[in-house]
Amino acid sequence: MAASNAQQSRAEAAMLDYDAIIIGAGISGMYQLYRLRELGMLVRLFEAGTGVGGTWYWNRYPGARFDSESYSYQYSFSQELLDEWSWSEHFAAQPETLRYLNYVADKFELRRDIQFRSRVTSAHYQEDARAWDVTLHDGSRHRSRFLITAIGPLSAPTLPRVEGVDSFQGQSFHTATWPHEPVSFVGKRVAVIGTGATGVQTIAEVAKTVGYLTVFQRTPNWCKPLHNGKIDEATQKKIKAGYTEMFRRCQETYACFLHNPDPRGTFEVTAEEREAFLEQQYASPGFGMWQGNFRDMLTNREANAIVSEFVARKIRERVKDQKVADKLIPRDHGFGTRRVPMETKYYEAYNQPNVQLVDIKETPIERITPKGVKTSDTEYEFDIIIYATGFDAITGSFDRIDIRGLGGLRLKDKWRGGPQTFLGVQVEGYPNMFMLVGPHTALGNIPRSIEYNVDWVTGLIRYMRERNLTRADARPEAVMAWTAYVKETGKGLLSNEVNSWMTGINSNVEGKQIRTIARYSGSAPAYRKWCDGVAEKGYLELMLA
Ligand SMILES: Cc1cc2nc3c(=O)[nH]c(=O)nc-3n(C[C@H](O)[C@H](O)[C@H](O)COP(=O)(O)OP(=O)(O)OC[C@H]3O[C@@H](n4cnc5c(N)ncnc54)[C@H](O)[C@@H]3O)c2cc1C
């Protein structure tokens, strides 16, 4: 009787709406859709926004641009696409990247399978049907065999945990939900709250036209000049001719960037050589100084202190008022142990008479008022408040969906003590759910990791379909082994001793005050080797049925 019930349920399952549901139309979801279509699958992609692009659709704030070199960030899967698209700058601004992603959506006719304005509120696994039951914010329900989350590591915006945010009577914006219409700062009194990577880009841009800018800083970050530039025709030809070699390099480097750690140790060179090397790094474009520094810079405290002192000196040189410079120099972490914001004339903004820095560790924000911001010693009045307060990173977008696996267990509850995954792709007890850029996966120059992630998931689905398999779940021992490995890769890294979104801390989010390992810190090649091994041996770490 049990068997016939099961058969009946399978029949029900055959009446699923789709073979696969993808959540999110950023770089991950778009590419996953393309690949699953190649397998001849019926796929639906649900996206909360009104267009494609994910990060580059939402983050329209002034100054938003790449920290990765544009060409190293783009998709590599289509030679035709690579030939057709030319980047105008080494580090493109958000509008260009959004144009690029729309171009990709048009070229591969992705939109016909994408449903916009569709926020997924819940996804429940049904064991009988071996299917996912997905509900949208409008109450509509959709069932599919596979569920693929492409919901982004930095896509759940957070506001500061202070009272009165809704009471402000001027205009206010979070950088990640910036309006589609232009915002003018001319003659306006503007506040920027937050000095992370986004805040730094915003401040430098707003300072160009603002009436008066007040920056509220809790934690200063070590910022490094971006050194962006236009790409002229000759350079364009050279870059394009070198794509094969460039993508090969990205495959080999630790974090898929063009930069790789220098093989020398900090103390294996003379003081003069060291100084010259750091000068050269500081003057080079992009993340080189972070990702391509001496090999021990992120593990050896003394080595790290040397680089930090070098950058502190630069800040003191660039900021005229030494009291302000002092406030801008981080004291609680070393260079590179948190995400390094890239900047263009950020420090110089503080030399303007109409830009003021408020250290909210000294004078905390007590509340947002109808007129502005009240700190412990002053009430500031503003026309515009910009919240550059970042994201509930990595697990935040998962926590905002009611995801339930076997026995109705909520993913949020399962991960209460920190995520546990297999390869950052699967969670035990959540069969047929695959995560792209989930916790515990290699990040770095993210599209390089995305393409690998998507191809791996596609390979697994192809394998299942060829064998008529309809259920994939991670074995508990595989999850334990992978999670232990992820923890192991973080050992000895100075970044794991620091509070940041990379160690699962967000003081604006309840329950995120304890450090967890949400991020894989090993090398991307090691990650791929492990994943390739799993596929080559026939996915023994998964329970396939
Ligand atoms: C300002 C900024 C700059 C960055 N710069 C770089 C850089 O230079 N280099 C780099 O490598 N990385 C950078 N990143 C990281 C960036 O997020 C990734 O590079 C990449 O865009 C991630 O793509 P994704 O498709 O995985 O996620 P996202 O681009 O975040 O897309 C996720 C999509 O899922 C949708 N979504 C989420 N939840 C739901 C739901 N419940 N229902 C429906 N839809 C949902 C969102 O609306 C979003 O469109 C940056 C991030 C930010 C915020």
Structure confidence at residue 425 (pLDDT): 98
Whether the per-residue pLDDT at 534 is higher than 50: the answer is: yes
Instruction: Judge whether residue 525 has pLDDT over 90.
Output: yes
Regarding beta strands 365-368 and 372-375, do their DSSP bridges make them parallel or antiparallel, or are they unpaired? antiparallel
DSSP 12-77: HHHT-SEEEEEE--SHHHHHHHHHHHHTT--EEEE-SSSSS-THHHH---TT-B-SS-HHHHS--S
Residues 140-149 have a mean pLDDT of 98
Given pLDDT bands bounded at 50, 70 and 90, which one contains residue 2?
very low
Residues of the chain by 3-state class (helix, strand, coil), percent to 5: 40, 20, 45
Tell me: the pLDDT tens digits for 375-392? 999 999 999 999 999 999
Which atom of ligand 1 sits closest to the CA of residue 121? 41
Sign of CA pseudo-dihedral 184, 185, 190, 196: positive
Label the pairing between strands 342-343 and 379-381: unpaired
Position 40 pLDDT exceeds 90? yes
437 pocket-lining for ligand 1 (C-beta < 6 Å)? yes
- Out of 138, 389, 446, 501, mutate this one to test ligand 1's pocket (max ligand atoms within 8 Å of CB): namely 446
Q: Candidates 75, 151, 412, 451: which one to mutate for ligand 1, based on the most atoms within 8 Å of Cβ?
A: 151
Residue 394 has pLDDT above 60, yes or no: yes
**Does the beta carbon of 154 lie inside 6 Å of ligand 1?**
yes
Is 70 exceeded by the pLDDT of residue 335?
yes
Residue 128 has pLDDT above 60, yes or no: yes
**446 touches ligand 1 (CB under 6 Å):** yes
The SS3 of residue 233 is helix
Calculate how far, in angstroms, residue 524's C-alpha sits from the geometric centre of ligand 1: 19
Q: Is the CB of 397 within 6 Å of ligand 1?
A: yes
At 4, is the pLDDT very low, low, confident or very high (cuts 50, 70, 90)? very low
For ligand 1, the distance from its centroid to the CA atom of residue 454, given in whole angstroms, is 15
Residue nearest to atom 48 of ligand 1 (CA): 54
Atom number, ligand 1, closest to the C-alpha of residue 119? 42
From the CA of 306, how far away is ligand 1's center (Å)? 34
Ligand 1 neighbour 483 (Cβ under 6 A)? no
Judge if the beta carbon of residue 401 lies within 6 A of ligand 1: yes
Whether ligand 1 lies within 6 angstroms of the CB of 150 is answered as yes
pTM equals 0.95
* Crossing angle of helices 243-252 and 446-466, rounded to 10°: 80
Question: Predicted confidence band at 5 (pLDDT cuts at 50, 70, 90)?
Answer: very low
- pLDDT score recorded for residue 9: 42
pLDDT of residue 228: 98
Tens of pLDDT, residues 459-485: 999 999 999 999 999 999 999 999 999
Identify the weakest region by mean pLDDT among 305-314, 320-329, 493-502.
493-502
120 in ligand 1 pocket by Cβ < 6 Å?
Answer: yes
Q: Is the CB of 534 under 6 A from ligand 1?
A: no
Q: How far is the CA of 154 from the centre of ligand 1 (A)?
A: 6
Rounded distance from Cα 48 to ligand 1 centre (Å): 12
Gap between the Cα atoms of 396 and 510, Å rounded: 11
Predicted pLDDT of residue 521: 86
DSSP H/E element including 473: strand 472-474
Ligand 1 atom closest to Cα of residue 443: 11
Give the least confident one: 116-120, 277-281, 504-508.
504-508
- Measure the CA–CA gap between 206 and 211, rounded to whole angstroms: 9
Q: Is 25 in the pocket of ligand 1 (CB under 6 A)?
A: yes
Assign residue 281 a region (left: φ > 0; alpha: ψ between -120 and 50; beta: otherwise): alpha
Ligand 1 geometric centre to CA of 152 (Å): 4
Ligand 1 binding pocket includes 392 (Cβ within 6 Å): no
Q: Which atom of ligand 1 is nearest to the CA of 59?
A: 1
- Strands (E) in 47-156, as ranges, are 114-115, 120-126, 131-136, 141-149
Average pLDDT, the chain: 94
23 within ligand 1 shell (Cβ under 6 A) = yes
